[in-house]
Amino acid sequence: MKVSPTPVHIRVPAEVDTRMRAFLVNACHPAVRFRMQRALSVMPRPTDALDRVKRYFGGKGPALAEVNAANLVVRECDRFCPGISEWLRVTGYANEPLMIAAFATWAEHPVDYSNAPQKVQ
């Protein structure tokens, strides 16, 4: 059996996609919004993500500190918008260099979630 070299496209329901994108843009610090919108405007390409990450961050890829910071923000987002980490993975945004950079910048500009609206359903 032959396996197609082209990536399989996962379809995410439009309402879920819209909700996740809105959460990311509205939940981040205002200083990070432009980076987040720019990251979301890119169509993730999983087939060459590693090469693009290396080019974007130079050398071997993002520093471990950037990746750890981004992961902490994603985990915090998952508390307020359950399923966001899965959506990032399924859509390919989890490995998108602009998204990694946006989350790393978000980590530098923390948001006070104590006054956050109710969890996104």
User: pLDDT tens for residues 82-104?
Assistant: 999 999 988 889 888 889 889 98
The whole-model pTM stands at 0.78
* Cα dihedral: 37, 65, 110, 53 (round 10): 0
Quick one: 120 exposed, middle or buried, by C-beta within 10 A (0-12, 13-18, 19+)? middle
The residues spanned by each domain of the chain are 14-111
CB atoms within 10 A of CB 116: 12
Provide, rounded to the nearest whole percent, the portion of the chain with pLDDT above 90: 38
Q: What are phi and psi of 28, to 5 degrees?
A: -75, 165
